[in-house]
Amino acid sequence: MQIRRQQSPLGASRVLRVVYHAKGGKLRPHSGHKSGRPASVFSAGETVRETGIYEVIHDHGHRSAHEVVMLSSDAFPSCDTCGNHVRFRLIRTAPYIFQDEDFEEPQ
């Protein structure tokens, strides 16, 4: 594992990126939101592009925002209360364990 740190203005260090090395020396992409770009907001019915942790934002505040795991190629669901007015924002990518090369079923 490789950890890169950067000094903050107050002198404390913070982790910028963690890169895990896979078997055979290959690098796996790091998890996290792509810095420098605003987070996209997705609607019910759209296809999930990246597996990861999403913030669910409900219409008219009937429920506080909460986090869920969504798998790529699934559809973002509608809410039983606010229907298609629910929104989803990617917090960070995170691979689904059974899509990881170390945990895939043998074929």
Residues 38 and 64 in one domain: yes
Task: Give tens-digit pLDDT for 2-54.
Answer: 444 444 445 444 433 333 334 444 444 545 555 556 779 999 999 999 999 99
Residues 1 and 42 in one domain: no
Query: Which structural domain, as residue segments, surrounds residue 15?
Result: 1-30
Cβ atoms of residues 50 and 93 within 8 Å: yes
Residues 83 and 43 in one domain: yes
Report pTM: 0.64
- Per the structure, how many domains does the chain have? 2
Classify residue 59 as exposed, middle or buried by CB count within 10 Å of its CB (0-12, 13-18, 19+). middle
* Residue 6: partners with Cβ closer than 8 Å, 6 or more residues away: 13, 14, 16
Residues 18 and 47 in one domain: no
Residues 77 and 36 in one domain: yes
Q: How many CA atoms lie within 13 A of 74 on its CB side?
A: 11
